[in-house]
């Protein structure tokens, strides 16, 4: 009797075939050869080893593992900026302090604007006096025309009286002059004086309104009840128009902002309740979908979704939140990869994709939660793609890693 033993090993699997008490014949040798070839054929090529490490595949996990990370933000946030240049003379409080609507949060020195306002008031009074004078001259011209005023001529008004009684009528009969036209011209001149004086009054008032606006702009007022989230200046700083002063947020109500992969957004609707786990104390609450942006990020292929948190939840803005989203796709699954497939030491999560030619392609991905040594992939990879497990930190795209298909 002859004895044949075969031990087949490939990456993560070991196959052992024992053939006992077999008569060495041609039929036996052919059968054993066929068995060996079949054993090698069933080994998964996706897990073949490369010189730099083991190659793994991107797999789809059940829908229950679909988690998306989000960040707690205030219901609304405004950044108060300087509207005029000058020196900061007041910053109301520190970060985290609460203020009511209408409170002064920051102030800039307004002494020069106050001085200019006094000058504008004097200009307005002068313009109003000139307007009253022009109106008086117009009224006198109506009731007592200056062209017929005998008292304006010397010699007890005799020359003017002789002119009015004889010279002008005779000249009018001969075609020289027209007293009616002269009268209308005098009235028009007086009326023009009123218009000019009124324009100067409007100009002075506009200048005064402008200065009042500039004085008001030296104060940054709280637009709603909220909390100081950031201070960008201190008392004594010199600022220019447009420079940020204070970031102020409405923190009585909180929201969650999450960048959701496109394939998961189709299952979301405004008003839907989504389970959420707050990072502080692992508090579980239900968040309501408040807004789904109509456009996707062209680089990350995600959609911004805002969800309202219940009032009174622990924590505050900046806190991390886990969202449990409903599934999407053929089987409602989500893509996962081993946590060891992420390039170590990188500021942003990256993996090494092995192409058909066995070359490395470093790719940035967006990750979700981690469970059981596997990490959820929100965007950047497709199911079935091959990854290099435990890649070195200095690997570069285009570098040969083996494992050609």
- Vertex 365 angle, CA 404 and 332, to 5°: 90
Mean pLDDT of the chain: 79
pLDDT at 405: 65
- Counts for the chain of helices (H) and strands (E), in that order: 6, 23
DSSP 151: G
The 10s digit of each residue's pLDDT in 127-136 is 999 998 888 8
Q: 116 is written with which tokens?
A: 């200019």
CA dihedral 86, 92, 96, 99 (to 10 degrees): -120
Q: Are 3 and 20 within 8 A, CB to CB?
A: yes
Own/partner contacts of 351-355, CB < 8 Å, gap of 24 or more, are: 351/380, 351/381, 351/387, 351/388, 351/391, 352/387, 352/388, 352/391, 352/395, 352/401, 353/381, 353/385, 353/386, 353/387, 354/50, 354/55, 354/386, 354/387, 354/388, 354/401, 354/403
β pairing state of 104-108 and 86-91: antiparallel
Nearest alpha carbon to residue 47 among 396, 400, 405 = 405
Residues in CB range of 42: below 8 A, 6 or more apart: none
What is the pLDDT at residue 47? 45
The label of the residue with tokens 């991107």 reads: 58
Write the CA distances from 156 to 146, 150, 164, 168, 367, integer angstroms: 16, 8, 14, 19, 107
- Find the farthest-apart pair of alpha carbons in the chain and give their distance in angstroms, rounded: 166
**Are 191 and 138 spatial neighbours (Cβ–Cβ below 8 Å)?**
yes
Burial class (CB in 10 A: 0-12, 13-18, 19+), 354: buried
What does 55-94 look like in DSSP terms, one character per residue? EEE-EEEPGGG-EEEEEEEEEEEEEEE-SS-EEEEEE---
Amino acid 333: pLDDT: 57
Contact assessment for residue 52 and residue 362, using Cβ atoms and an 8 Å cutoff: no
Which residues of the chain carry a pLDDT beneath 70? 1-52, 61-65, 146-182, 327-333, 403-405
> Residue 127 carries which DSSP code?
H
- In this predicted structure, what is the pLDDT of residue 162? 55
What's residue 279's pLDDT? 82
Helix (H) or strand (E) holding 179: helix 179-217
Sequence-distant (≥ 6) Cβ neighbours of residue 235 within 8 angstroms: 88, 89, 90, 91
Buried b (16+ CB within 10 A) or exposed e, 42-59: ebeebbbebebbbbbebb
CA angle at 297 for the pair 244 and 280, rounded to the nearest 5°:
65
**Integer Cα distance of 323 and 317 in angstroms:** 16
Asked if 231 and 43 touch (Cβ cutoff 8 Å), the reply is no
Rounded CA-CA distance 217/102 in Å is 13
Cβ–Cβ contacts within 10 Å for residue 234, how many?
A: 8
CA 37 vs. chain centroid, Å, equals 60
Q: Can you give the pLDDT at residue 235?
A: 92
CA end-to-end distance (rounded Å), the chain:
42
């Amino acid at each position: 009797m002859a004895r044949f033993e075969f031990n087949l090993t490939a990456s993560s699997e070991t196959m052992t075939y024992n053939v006992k008490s077999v008569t060495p014949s041609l039929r036996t040798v052919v059968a054993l050869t066929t068995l060996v070839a079949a054993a090698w054929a069933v080994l998964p090529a996706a897990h073949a080893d490369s010189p730099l490490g083991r190659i793994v595949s991107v797999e789809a996990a059940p829908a229950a593992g679909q988690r998306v990370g989000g960040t707690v933000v205030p219901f609304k946030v405004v950044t108060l900026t300087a509207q005029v240049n000058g020196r900061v003379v007041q910053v109301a409080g520190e970060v985290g302090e609460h203020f009511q609507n209408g409170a002064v949060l920051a102030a800039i020195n307004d002494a020069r604007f106050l001085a200019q306002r006094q000058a504008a008031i004097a200009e307005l009074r002068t313009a109003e006096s000139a307007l009253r004078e022009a109106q008086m001259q117009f009224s006198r011209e109506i009731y007592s025309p200056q062209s017929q005023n005998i008292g304006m001529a010397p010699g007890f008004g005799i020359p003017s009286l002789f002119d009015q009684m004889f010279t002008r009528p005779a000249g009018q009969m001969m075609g020289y002059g027209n007293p009616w036209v002269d009268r209308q011209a005098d009235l028009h001149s007086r009326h023009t004086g009123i218009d000019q004086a009124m324009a100067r009054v409007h100009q002075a008032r506009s200048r005064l309104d402008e200065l009042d606006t500039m004085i008001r702009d030296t104060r940054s007022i709280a637009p709603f009840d909220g909390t100081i989230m950031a201070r960008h200046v201190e008392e004594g700083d010199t600022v220019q128009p447009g420079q940020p002063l204070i970031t102020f947020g409405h923190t009585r109500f909180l929201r969650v902002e999450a960048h959701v992969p496109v394939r998961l957004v189709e299952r979301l609707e405004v008003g839907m309740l989504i389970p959420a786990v707050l990072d502080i104390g692992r508090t579980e609450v239900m968040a309501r979908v408040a807004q789904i942006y109509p456009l996707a990020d062209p680089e990350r292929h995600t959609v911004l979704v805002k969800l309202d948190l219940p009032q009174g939840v622990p924590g505050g803005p900046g806190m991390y939140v886990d969202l449990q989203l409903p599934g999407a796709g053929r089987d409602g699954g989500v893509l996962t990869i081993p946590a060891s497939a992420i390039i170590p030491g990188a500021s942003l999560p990256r993996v090494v994709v092995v192409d058909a030619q066995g070359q490395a392609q470093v790719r940035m991905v967006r990750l979700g939660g981690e469970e059981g040594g596997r990490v959820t992939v929100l965007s950047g990879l497709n199911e079935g793609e091959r990854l290099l497990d435990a890649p070195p930190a200095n690997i570069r795209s285009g570098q040969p890693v083996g494992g050609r298909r």
